[in-house]
């Protein structure tokens, strides 16, 4: 189940909050070496130095899977990392794996915020924007900030993709730029500014502890799909809409849209959105349909999207349709810190994907403005 390899650290490529990317030479039994990229989470395995021997997990790399193409550094076998003081906190994430980590949950008894969250049960109408893909996060925030950044934004990372929030350069870049105010990791995900046992407690912590105005919820990088109706990690997007509604939030569904995906099931509105929002979500939400008809090269795609989205909204489905213009959003998207990428495609390769996400952010911003009026 795991391919183990030894490697020698050659150089540091780059660092961001919680992670270090290295160039390493992977050592073969015959003494030869091949080059690859490797990622270390210093708070889990320490910080390898140039020239040190490291132990790698190369399983995903050998299989040619996406999400960065990294080997993962498991240990520095000749040097034990310095101890990290234990406690407070007894919330274990990545439970019963070799790298399980103990963190302080925002909602547990040892937390200074426990009293606030002990009986918290109401999001007070806060907009909760739900997306399938992690790559939607920066585009949604761009829509929220256009034309002026006057709201506090939280990001709740679920455990459908990567478990460490440290893996996400998008989160690091958005936080450094002041585009998001807090990252909360829920379930088995960890490494956020706040840790939560469940999506429900993460949403409540965002509202009552972090004091944000709006929350974006999406899985971490590295979503999993099997080409089946139900076998994809983003199915939890429908469950998050349910959680937002149960807690008296305003659930907003961002559609996963593509005009460039080679797979027919993801062209127009992805079957992931149609299943998660159409079958899993049991409470009404605002389904944001971007009005792409004003962009000539997207006019045909816009017609397809309208036909597909009709199955989700009344009178056929249970959700509320919100048609949202996209004027000005391309400029907003070009200003995203670190740029945009989804399934290896950038903004110019698949503008519809990012415009759909930004339109959901724009709608949530409208809700905030209406609440303040």
Burial of 147 per CB tally in 10 Å (0-12, 13-18, 19+): exposed
**What pLDDT was estimated at residue 373?**
75
Of residues 190 and 260, more confidence is placed in 190
Kind and range of the H or E element at 365?
Answer: helix 351-372
Query: What mean pLDDT comes out for the span 349-372?
Result: 96
Identify whether 104 is part of a domain.
no
CA nearest to 146, candidates 363, 373, 351, 371: 363
Identify whether 89 is part of a domain.
no
157/247 same-domain check:
yes
Cis peptide before 241 (omega within 30 of 0): no
Domain boundary among 44, 75, 106: 75
Of residues 87 and 307, more confidence is placed in 307
43/121 same-domain check:
no
**What pLDDT was estimated at residue 67?**
61
**What pLDDT was estimated at residue 31?**
72
Of residues 194 and 234, more confidence is placed in 194
- The dihedrals phi and psi of 13, each to the nearest 5 degrees, come to -85, -50
Query: What mean pLDDT comes out for the span 87-112?
Result: 92
Identify whether 95 is part of a domain.
no
Of residues 359 and 29, more confidence is placed in 359
% of the chain residues with pLDDT over 70: 99
pLDDT band at 65 (very low <50, low <70, confident <90, very high): confident
49/137 same-domain check:
no
Identify whether 225 is part of a domain.
yes
Query: What mean pLDDT comes out for the span 78-88?
Result: 85
**What pLDDT was estimated at residue 339?**
93
Identify whether 82 is part of a domain.
no
Contacts of 91 by beta carbon, 8 Å cutoff, 6+ apart: 102, 103, 104, 105, 108, 195, 197
11-15, 91-95, 194-198: which range is least confident on average? 91-95
Cα separation, 240 vs 247, in Å, equals 11
Burial of 121 per CB tally in 10 Å (0-12, 13-18, 19+): exposed
Number of domains forming the structure of the chain: 2
**What pLDDT was estimated at residue 258?**
95
Q: Is 169 helix (H, G, I), strand (E, B) or coil?
A: helix
CA nearest to 186, candidates 115, 239, 245: 239
**What pLDDT was estimated at residue 64?**
77
Go through 207-221 and write b for each residue having 16 or more CB atoms within 10 A of its CB, e for each that does not.
bbbbebbbbbbbbbb
Interval 265-282: pLDDT, tens:
899 999 999 999 999 999
Whole-model pTM: value is 0.94
**What pLDDT was estimated at residue 215?**
98
Identify whether 87 is part of a domain.
no
Q: Which of 48-52, 77-81, 342-346 tops mean pLDDT?
A: 48-52
Interval 310-323: pLDDT, tens:
999 999 999 999 99
Alpha carbon distance, N-terminus to C-terminus of the chain: 56
Q: Is 366 helix (H, G, I), strand (E, B) or coil?
A: helix
Is residue 30 predicted with pLDDT exceeding 80? Answer: no
161/19 same-domain check:
no
**CATH code of 217's domain:** 3.40.50
**What pLDDT was estimated at residue 37?**
94
40/172 same-domain check:
no
Is residue 34 predicted with pLDDT exceeding 90? Answer: no
**CATH code of 19's domain:** 2.40.50
CA nearest to 71, candidates 80, 62, 83: 62
CA nearest to 202, candidates 144, 150, 159: 159
pLDDT band at 66 (very low <50, low <70, confident <90, very high): low
Interval 136-195: pLDDT, tens:
999 999 999 998 888 999 999 999 999 999 999 999 999 999 999 999 999 999 999 999
**What pLDDT was estimated at residue 229?**
86
Identify whether 368 is part of a domain.
yes
- The domain in which residue 323 lies consists of 114-372
Cα separation, 144 vs 367, in Å, equals 10
DSSP category for residue 147: S
Is residue 33 predicted with pLDDT exceeding 90? Answer: no
Identify whether 93 is part of a domain.
no
63/118 same-domain check:
no
DSSP category for residue 98: T
The Cα diameter of the chain in Å comes to 71
Mean pLDDT, all residues of the chain: 94
196/277 same-domain check:
yes
Query: What mean pLDDT comes out for the span 285-302?
Result: 95
Query: What mean pLDDT comes out for the span 339-353?
Result: 94
269/210 same-domain check:
yes
């Amino acid at each position: 189940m795991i391919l183990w390899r030894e490697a020698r650290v050659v150089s540091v490529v780059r660092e961001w909050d919680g992670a270090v990317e290295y160039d390493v030479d992977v050592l073969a039994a015959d003494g030869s070496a091949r080059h690859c990229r490797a990622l270390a989470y210093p708070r889990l395995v320490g910080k390898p130095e140039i020239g040190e021997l490291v132990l790698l997990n190369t399983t995903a790399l050998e299989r040619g899977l996406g999400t960065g193409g990294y080997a993962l550094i498991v240990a520095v076998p000749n040097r034990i990392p310095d101890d990290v003081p234990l406690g407070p906190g007894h919330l274990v994430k990545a439970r019963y794996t070799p790298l399980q980590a103990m963190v302080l949950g925002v909602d547990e008894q040892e937390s200074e915020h426990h009293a606030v969250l002990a009986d918290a049960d109401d999001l007070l109408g806060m907009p909760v924007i739900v997306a399938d893909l992690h790559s939607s996060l920066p585009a949604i925030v761009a829509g929220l900030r256009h034309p002026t950044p006057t709201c506090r934004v939280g990001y709740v990372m679920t455990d459908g993709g990567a478990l460490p929030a440290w893996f996400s350069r998008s989160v690091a870049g958005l936080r450094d730029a002041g585009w998001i105010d807090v990252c909360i990791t829920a379930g088995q995900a960890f490494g956020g500014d706040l840790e939560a046992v469940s999506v429900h407690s993460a949403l409540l912590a965002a509202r009552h502890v972090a004091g944000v105005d709006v929350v974006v919820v999406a899985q971490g990088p590295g979503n999993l799909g099997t080409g089946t109706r139900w076998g994809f990690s983003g199915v939890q997007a429908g469950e998050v809409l349910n959680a937002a509604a149960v807690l008296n939030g305003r659930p907003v569904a961002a559609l996963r849209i593509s005009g460039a995906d080679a797979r027919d099931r993801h062209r127009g509105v992805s079957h992931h959105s149609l299943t998660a929002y159409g079958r899993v979500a049991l409470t009404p939400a605002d389904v944001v349909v971007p009005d792409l008809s004003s962009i000539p090269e997207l006019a045909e795609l816009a017609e397809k999207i309208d036909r597909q989205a009709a199955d989700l909204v009344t009178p056929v489905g249970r959700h509320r349709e919100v048609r949202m213009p996209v004027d000005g959003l391309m400029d907003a998207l070009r200003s995203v810190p670190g740029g945009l990428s989804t399934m290896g495609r950038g903004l110019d390769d698949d503008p519809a994907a990012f415009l759909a996400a930004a339109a959901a952010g724009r709608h949530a911003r409208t809700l905030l403005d209406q609440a303040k009026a």
